[in-house]
Amino acid sequence: MQLHFIGTGSILSDRLSSSALIDGKLLIDTPNGSMKAMRRTGLDPKQVDICLITHFHADHFADIIFLFLEQGIGRTRDSDLILVGPTGFADHVEQLFELSYPGSWASTRPHVRPQFVELDTEHGGQWSGSGYHVRAYPMQHAVPTLGYSIVDEAGARLGYTGDTSHCPSVDTLADESSVLVCDTTFPQQGRIGHMGLAEIEELAGRRPGKHFLTTHLSDDVPAPSRPNVIRPDDGQTFTINAHGLVVSDKSVGDGKERGDGQHKKPVLGIL
């Protein structure tokens, strides 16, 4: 499994908004700017066959419009586009589409062939297809949010928390996965629906055989101190196999170029 970070930042960060692409075709979240970010790095949004959405905040969802336009302008998909997300997903897309490009939803939809898989945000759910088994877990955030466990046919096990405070589902995802991508909005403890680096390092300390990758970072989150916690940059790619993260020099956390500890901008933590 190839895990590519399109963006790793929170709203007021210099980093792009958090989203990730697996094997070039399974996209997790469609935040503001993510389709342009893919294009700029040579990734083709038309190659996305499965899209998981954690929640409907704009820094995770706003570019769903542009995913549809990328997929449906001048072409018709030859297979369904699978869209997995919280209950109300189809309605949210239609409303956002009508607000953004009035009257064009009806003509765009048939070209994209969306197949919505709406999962309960109180109990979670699951979906399987195209070589992946996806389980969704209820997270704790300002709005209903799902975290995901993604297992491929080779046995790679990836977890992705989405935005959440530390809740039982975070521990479940950490236990089920060999690599967990974690909301790490704050430098120390989390608050108001987000986690902080101190909590991620505590999770990692109890699970030394697993790796934890931080995302949704604010610019004042310092470099991790534990070897099994890695702070990716935008555009960084990792390989995961049945044994866990394939660690190479390229996948060692950064910490130099961003000026650790500098508080460049205030943090908006409610989103």
**Binding range to Zn ion, per CB under 5 A, among 120-128, 130-138, 159-167, 260-268:** 159-167
**Binding range to Zn ion, per CB under 5 A, among 51-59, 119-127, 132-140, 180-188:** 51-59
Tell me which residues in 190-219 interact with Zn ion (CB under 5 A).
none
Output the smallest distance, CB 53 to Zn ion, in A: 11
**Binding range to Zn ion, per CB under 5 A, among 33-41, 56-64, 236-244, 259-267:** 56-64
Closest CB to Zn ion among 72 and 269? 269
Closest CB to Zn ion among 60 and 157? 60
Closest CB to Zn ion among 163 and 234? 163
Q: List C-alpha distances in Å: 29 to 2, 5, 54, 193, 220.
A: 16, 11, 6, 18, 23
SS3 content of the chain, % helix, strand, coil (to 5): 25, 30, 50
Applying CB under 5 A, what is the total number of residues that bind Zn ion? Answer: 3
Output the smallest distance, CB 142 to Zn ion, in A: 6
Output the smallest distance, CB 163 to Zn ion, in A: 4
Tokens of 150: 């993604």
Residue type, 28: I
Q: List C-alpha distances in Å: 147 to 76, 126, 209.
A: 30, 11, 21
Closest CB to Zn ion among 177 and 185? 185
**Binding range to Zn ion, per CB under 5 A, among 54-62, 106-114, 149-157, 197-205:** 54-62
DSSP per-residue letters across 11-25: TTSSSPBPEEEETTT
> Given the structure tokens 């469609």, which residue do they identify?
30
Closest CB to Zn ion among 34 and 228? 34
Closest CB to Zn ion among 4 and 57? 57
Residue 57 engages Zn ion in binding (rule: CB under 5 A): yes
Output the smallest distance, CB 54 to Zn ion, in A: 8
Closest CB to Zn ion among 83 and 146? 146
Output the smallest distance, CB 38 to Zn ion, in A: 21
Report the C-alpha gap between 234 and 8 in whole angstroms.
6
Residue sitting closest to Zn ion (CB):
57
- Contact by Cβ (8 Å): 217, 231: yes
> Given the structure tokens 């490009």, which residue do they identify?
101
Output the smallest distance, CB 270 to Zn ion, in A: 8
Q: At what angle do helices 89-100 and 105-112 cross, to 10 degrees?
A: 130
Report the C-alpha gap between 13 and 34 in whole angstroms.
15
Closest CB to Zn ion among 142 and 198? 142
Output the smallest distance, CB 253 to Zn ion, in A: 24
Tokens of 155: 């046995």
> Given the structure tokens 């908004």, which residue do they identify?
17
Burial of residue 64 (CB within 10 Å: 0-12, 13-18, 19+) is: buried
Write down the H helix ranges in 119-178. Answer: 168-176
The residues binding Zn ion (CB under 5 A) are 57, 163, 271
